[in-house]
Amino acid sequence: MMGVPEVVVVSSDGMRSLVVVGGQWGDEGKGKVVDLIAGAFDAVARYNGGHNAGHTVRYGERRFALHLVPSGIVHDGTLCVLGAGMVVDPEALVAEIGHLAEQGVSVEGRLLVSERATLLLPTHRALDLARERARGQGRIGTTGRGIGPAYQDLASRRALRAFLLTDPGRLAERARALMAEHNRELESLHGAEAVDLGRAVEAVVAAARELAPMVGDVGKALLRTHGEGGRILFEGAQGILLDVFHGTYPFVTSSSCLPGLAAVSCGVPPRMVGPVLGVMKAYTTRVGGGPFPTELEDAVGERLRERGAEFGTTTGRPRRCGWFDAVAARYAVRVAGIDALALTKLDVLDGLDEVQVAVAYEDGQGRRLDVPPGDSEAFERLRPVYETFPGWSGSSAGATDEVDLPEGAVAYVRQLERLLGVPVVLVSTGPRRRETILRGDGPVGRFLRRIVGSPD
């Protein structure tokens, strides 16, 4: 009988695993942080969402746009896995693998898709778009990739799962039946055009032929890596405030973004999922609808958008921009169990006269709240209570050491540590790897210092 596998979270050579999550509404710059550290891990696992996520990884002169494949793929020999909690569009995954191959990165033998992952079909995309249209003013502002409808099929137990990719006959039959149901909703409920089933089934089956060798038991592979003394990085997509349970529901994505899902999705013991590194921007952005108390619809907001190049990687949409919201961030630290923070895009705040941070909310009737409410309609009505900090005139752009930062910028980082109660162990001052400051002590800080080495 197989025993319970031994799990070592901290060993003499340092931590054995780490989870990286976004601590706001996504787009915090997780891609750069993960990319910086992924080379030190033997396996990298994505555990939630699908191709709604997106980031660009730079490797030498090459740039890779990744949506589904974990960023570890650019490092030779790293095993990359997609957990059971993901929704996988077979065509999108094949396209991404092709894009990697064109740039000389082969996924062969290194990419494993959980046989239990949910398949996202062309009709899911059509339903996502039709439902958004039907929501009118109340639309969520989804990425239009079909994520919500795919998770809905999972929850209602009619989804197709990735093991079917290895059985084209059964896949074609099941895909046709499910997409026919989707077409009925598209036509009768939304008056939308039905998806051409013949073409859609053919496309899914063609993608399946390429993906079949990559389907398997993710938990087993990760436990083997762990058992051999390897390190595992769990890569969360989106952000804590977009979590389907704990985010600003219904203006959320349809999966959990919390680190706990890493264990659930990958089928490994929760204690194997290591400390949590949260990534937060030095200000706040969100795309799509929903509460955003510190949003700035003025020249400062515009400046953040321009300087921060705040346009969606997946959809190209301009992001809503505003001040750092320490109330929402503190809540994210709590529900996600964030142990340490990576603070990104600090340089975008350079040159402002003053910088504001929301430290509480106020409900218009004199009541102050220090946590976001579960009711998003009530949340929409709240106003931020700001603490104002002096800006700084020098430049933090490209700084590689804390001593090179303007004093005001260092003070700002320390204020955020005070407000959130967790150390900032990494500060990103530009898009390049070397534009990074490692700081602070504590286990995660020390671990990062050991593994990052000297970025190029």
219 vs 293 by CB, closer to ligand IMP: 293
| Contacts of 180-189 spanning 24+ positions with Cβ under 8 A | 182/121, 182/123, 182/124, 182/126, 182/127, 182/149, 183/123, 185/127, 186/123, 186/126, 186/127, 186/130, 189/130, 189/134
Confirm if 24 and 319 have CB atoms less than 8 A apart: no
* Catalytic annotation present for 217: no
Confirm if 291 and 251 have CB atoms less than 8 A apart: yes
Q: Alpha-carbon distance 100 to 156, whole Å?
A: 34
Q: Pick one of 73, 287, 399, 413: the residue that binds ligand IMP (CB under 6 A).
A: 287
124 vs 174 by CB, closer to ligand IMP: 124
444 near ligand IMP, judged by CB under 6 A: no
Closest CA to 40 of 332, 356, 316, 277: 277
Minimum distance between the CB of residue 268 and ligand IMP, rounded to whole angstroms?
24
Minimum distance between the CB of residue 102 and ligand IMP, rounded to whole angstroms?
24
Which pair of structure tokens corresponds to residue 183? 């077409």
The site string for ligand IMP over 219-248 (x = CB under 6 A, - otherwise) reads ------------------xx---x------
Which pair of structure tokens corresponds to residue 426? 């990494």
Q: Which residues pair with 388 in a beta bridge?
A: 356
* Helical residues (DSSP H) of 58-167, grouped into ranges: 90-102, 122-135, 147-155
Q: Which residues pair with 356 in a beta bridge?
A: 388
Catalytic residue among 27, 128, 339, 350: 27
3-state secondary structure of 375: coil
Identity of the residue numbered 442: G
Confirm if 194 and 206 have CB atoms less than 8 A apart: no
* 5 class by beta-carbon count within 10 Å (0-12 exposed, 13-18 middle, 19+ buried): middle
273 vs 287 by CB, closer to ligand IMP: 287
171 near ligand IMP, judged by CB under 6 A: no
156 vs 365 by CB, closer to ligand IMP: 156
120 near ligand IMP, judged by CB under 6 A: no
27 vs 89 by CB, closer to ligand IMP: 27
Minimum distance between the CB of residue 251 and ligand IMP, rounded to whole angstroms?
6
Q: What is the 3-state secondary structure (H, E, C) of 4-46?
A: CCCCCCEECCEECEEEEEECCCCCCCHHHHHHHHHCCCCEEEE
322 near ligand IMP, judged by CB under 6 A: no
27 near ligand IMP, judged by CB under 6 A: yes
Q: Pick one of 253, 256, 265, 436: the residue that binds ligand IMP (CB under 6 A).
A: 253
80 vs 140 by CB, closer to ligand IMP: 140
Minimum distance between the CB of residue 10 and ligand IMP, rounded to whole angstroms?
31
151 vs 323 by CB, closer to ligand IMP: 151
Q: Alpha-carbon distance 394 to 351, whole Å?
A: 7
Q: Which of residues 36-65 bind ligand IMP (CB under 6 A)?
A: 52-53
78 near ligand IMP, judged by CB under 6 A: no
The site string for ligand IMP over 369-408 (x = CB under 6 A, - otherwise) reads ----------------------------------------
143 vs 400 by CB, closer to ligand IMP: 143
Instruction: Select from 9-17, 119-127, 143-151, 324-332 the region that touches ligand IMP (CB under 6 A).
Output: 143-151
Minimum distance between the CB of residue 84 and ligand IMP, rounded to whole angstroms?
18
Q: Alpha-carbon distance 327 to 333, whole Å?
A: 10
* Catalytic annotation present for 226: no
Q: Pick one of 141, 168, 431, 442: the residue that binds ligand IMP (CB under 6 A).
A: 141
Minimum distance between the CB of residue 239 and ligand IMP, rounded to whole angstroms?
7
Q: Alpha-carbon distance 422 to 298, whole Å?
A: 31
Catalytic residue among 35, 51, 55, 128: 55
Q: Pick one of 18, 21, 23, 26: the residue that binds ligand IMP (CB under 6 A).
A: 26
Q: Alpha-carbon distance 294 to 100, whole Å?
A: 38
118 near ligand IMP, judged by CB under 6 A: no
Measured at the CA of 237, the angle between CA 236 and CA 243, to 5 degrees, comes to 95
Residue facing ligand IMP at closest CB distance: 288
Give DSSP secondary structure letters for 362-374.
Answer: E-SSS-EESS--S
Q: Pick one of 111, 147, 195, 338: the residue that binds ligand IMP (CB under 6 A).
A: 147
Which pair of structure tokens corresponds to residue 361? 């909310």
Could you give the residue numbers annotated as active site? 27, 55
Q: Which residues contribute to the site for ligand IMP (CB under 6 A)?
A: 26-27, 52-53, 140-143, 145, 147-148, 237-238, 242, 251, 253-254, 287-288
